[in-house]
Amino acid sequence: MIGLLEHQGILPMFSHEDENISLSLLRAAYEGGAKLIEFTNRSYHALNVFKALKKTASKDMPDLILGAGTVMNVKEAKAFVKAGANFIVAPVINKSVAKFCAEEKILWCPGAGTLTEIVYAHELGSGMVKVFPAKQLGGPEFIKAILGPCPWVKIMATGGVTTEEEDLKSWFRAGVQCVGIGSHFFSSSIVDQGDYSRVSAKIKQSLQFVQSIRN
């Protein structure tokens, strides 16, 4: 799973309480070339919407890997894994979630904001640590600084990462394996207008940027 995340380079993240809109956003991201996508747990109906997404994906998008984000505790982790989540992402470190994901052999990607937290998450079994909110913590220069003493840590930068080529270039040159992008793909204006083809186009272009940067 870590290798797949590294290869894709960008993890599109979205959430919407409307099941039909969520399905449209999922299809748009998939058609844009994303094979790993995060549905974030940010609404009262998130679990039910996630189940609907998994049901559709298993039928229409068999190679899609769908994870759950904003998973704050082990109760939520168990519920989403039971519903078919292929990986778990969180903004915080929770030791019980770490233990559960290790037992289930599920990738757990917790959020961290200091070098101590990053190393602690790594010691708890996180194969990739989510630095969040990455831009507010110091951006690419912060990533570069923490990887100096700890080059073995795999980092996903989330929070403030844009779809601009120069911005993506700065993150990957700093040493991240992956970036998480939400609102720059799934803005409220795009969702309100139902402009799902624009979602696909933005994701496709950003994935191409990442490959170009790496090459």
The domains located in the chain, with CATH, are: 2-214 (3.20.20.70)
Q: Given this model, what pLDDT does residue 29 score? A: 98
- Position 107 scores a pLDDT of 97
- How many of the other CB atoms lie within 10 Å of CB of 3? 9
In terms of pTM, does the model score above 0.75? yes
Q: What is the pLDDT of residue 193?
A: 93
Q: Tell me what the mean pLDDT of segment 79-90 comes to.
A: 98
pLDDT tens per residue, range 42-84? 999 999 999 999 999 999 999 999 999 999 999 999 999 999 9
Long-range contacts of 60-64 (CB under 8 A, 24+ apart): 60/27, 61/26, 61/27, 61/30, 63/35, 64/26, 64/30, 64/35, 64/36, 64/37
